[in-house]
């Protein structure tokens, strides 16, 4: 199969190699191993393959690279252990399988890493842990402390407690948010294909392997298909994850986990897999957190003046620029800001609850006290707590 670089935006093969060389020299990587790979297409955990990936990660550690491992496979391993051949639909059964399988998973990693004198730590995260400012900060300091001590954190979603509404579902998204969390330089998504192709290679034998594209290239949306029977999101969630990661300046590499010594190849800056590069400047940690904060509880519609103030003047959002409000939110919650056409332009942490904002629509900041009887802040959303959708703020 031929490979493909993005030519029309001026990125040449030399840029590709340059970015790969820069990635190879970087210090902190998040490596995600997907379900379809880990379970060898449903045959239970592929232990020899796990041993091989662990050996590769150990070599990265020896080279001074800090690695956070995000590993799927709990549900599949649990199903195997319980003798189930078909993935259940009922949430409680999936959660039971995950609880059983997670034990198998970490047991394997602990055993294998021990052979290389490396300690592991199990870190199970939920959406709430990353969307709550305090828990986010705790998760961040635990992970960075583990890295400081030379431990390899093994992260998965805390499947046994999450409900449908708040689950990541796929570990690509979790990997990207963990990359945001620890400010990783690289997110490596290891999967069962050798990278991302121009179409799903399972159904399109002529599909081309993509080599180097910006994560925000809109053509990726047409080329990304769904996942296989065991994986969750296919390339759709990998592209989405690359975009989340790019918001904090992290490059994403989608590579074939079965390629021999693939992580060594990445470290040698070889042109393996698909590099979806970040072409925006790294954000501060707080903005990263905001960008990855997926759960929003309300919406504000802004007039044209407010949109301009946010997009072009670097201003905070004032109540005078708000035309409509919806949703149930309180002070400190995340809300989406839309223009009059309904397009999302920003999201941020709001200083007033939904009822208060309803009363403040169109009000000058000097009138807040007169309307509410008190004033918390002059702004509805302070600039520091606001991230524009194009992330150029």
- Does the footprint of ligand VHF cover residue 157 (CB under 6 A)? yes
**Of 57-65, 68-76, 107-115, 288-296: span binding ligand VHF (CB under 6 A):** 68-76
Partner in contact with 272, chosen from ligand ADP, ligand VHF, none, beta carbon below 5 to 8 Å by kind: none
Q: Which of 157, 192, 217, 333 binds ligand ADP (CB under 6 A)?
A: 192
Give the x/- contact pattern for ligand ADP in 194-223, rule: CB under 6 A: --xx-xxxx--------------------x
For residues 59 and 92, give the distance between their C-alpha atoms in angstroms, rounded to a whole number.
39
Q: How far is the CB of 32 from ligand VHF (least distance, A)?
A: 7
Using CB under 6 A as the binding rule, whether residue 232 contacts ligand VHF is answered as yes
Helix (H), strand (E) at residue 355 = helix 354-360
Q: 99-113: string of b/e by CB count within 10 Å (b at 16+)? A: bbbbebbbebbbebb
Please say whether the beta carbons of 97 and 75 come within 8 A: yes
Q: Report in angstroms how near the CB of residue 210 gets to ligand ADP at its nearest.
A: 8
192 is in an annotated binding site: yes
Helix, coil or strand: residue 37: helix
Tell me 282's DSSP state.
P
Judged by CB under 6 A, the residue of 214, 233, 256, 348 near ligand ADP is 233
Task: Name which position in 16, 19, 35, 131 contacts ligand ADP (CB under 6 A).
Answer: 35
User: What six digits make up the tokens of 15?
Assistant: 């840029």
Asked if 225 touches ligand VHF (CB under 6 A), the answer is no
Tokens coding 372: 């509410």
Told to check if 170 binds ligand VHF by CB under 6 A, we report yes
Q: Any known ligand binding at 171?
A: yes
Instruction: Spell out the long-range contacts of 196-201 with Cβ–Cβ below 8 A and sequence spacing 24 or more.
Output: 196/220, 196/223, 196/224, 196/235, 196/238, 196/239, 196/254, 196/274, 196/276, 197/1, 197/223, 198/4, 198/223, 199/223, 199/225, 200/225, 200/226, 200/234, 200/235, 201/1
- Comparing CB distances to ligand ADP, the nearer of 237 and 363 is 237
Q: Which residues are annotated as a binding site for substrate?
A: 72, 159, 171
Q: Can you give the binding site for ligand ADP, defined by CB under 6 A?
A: 34-37, 72, 172, 191-193, 196-197, 199-202, 223-225, 227-228, 231-235
Q: Which residues are annotated as a binding site for ATP?
A: 32, 191-192
């Amino acid at each position: 199969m031929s490979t493909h670089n993005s030519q029309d935006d001026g990125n040449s093969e030399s840029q590709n190699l340059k970015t790969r060389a820069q990635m190879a020299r970087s210090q902190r990587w998040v490596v995600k191993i997907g379900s379809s790979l880990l379970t060898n297409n449903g045959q239970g955990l592929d232990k020899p393959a796990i041993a091989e990936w662990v050996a590769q990660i150990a070599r990265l550690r020896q080279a001074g690279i800090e690695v956070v491992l995000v590993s799927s496979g709990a549900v599949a391993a649990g199903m195997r252990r319980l003798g189930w051949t078909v993935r259940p639909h009922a949430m409680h059964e999936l959660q039971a399988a995950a609880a059983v399988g997670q034990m198998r998973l970490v047991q394997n990693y602990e055993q294998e890493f021990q052979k290389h004198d490396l300690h592991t730590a199990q870190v199970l995260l939920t959406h709430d842990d990353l969307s709550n400012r305090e828990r986010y900060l705790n998760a961040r300091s635990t992970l960075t402390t583990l890295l400081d001590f030379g431990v390899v954190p093994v992260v998965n979603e805390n499947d046994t407690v999450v409900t449908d509404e708040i689950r990541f579902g796929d570990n690509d998204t979790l990997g990207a948010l963990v990359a945001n969390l620890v400010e990783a330089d690289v997110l490596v998504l290891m999967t069962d294909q050798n990278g991302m192709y121009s179409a799903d290679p399972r159904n399109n034998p002529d599909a081309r392997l993509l080599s180097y594209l910006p994560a925000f290239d809109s053509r990726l949306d047409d080329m990304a298909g769904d996942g296989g029977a065991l994986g969750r999101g296919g390339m759709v969630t990998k592209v989405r994850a690359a975009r989340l990661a790019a918001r904090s300046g992290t490059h994403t590499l989608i590579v074939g986990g079965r390629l021999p010594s693939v992580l060594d190849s990445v470290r040698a800056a070889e042109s393996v897999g698909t590099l979806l590069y970040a072409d925006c400047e790294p954000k501060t940690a707080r903005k990263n957190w905001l960008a990855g904060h997926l759960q929003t509880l309300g919406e504000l519609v802004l007039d044209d003046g407010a949109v301009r103030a946010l997009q072009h003047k670097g201003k905070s959002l004032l109540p005078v620029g708000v035309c409509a409000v919806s949703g149930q939110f309180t002070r400190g919650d995340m809300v989406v800001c839309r223009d009059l056409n309904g397009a999302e332009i920003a999201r941020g942490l709001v200083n007033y609850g939904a009822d208060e904002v309803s009363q403040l629509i169109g009000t000058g900041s000097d009138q807040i006290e007169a309307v509410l009887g008190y004033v918390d802040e002059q702004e509805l959303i302070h600039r520091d707590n606001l991230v524009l959708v194009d992330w150029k703020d």
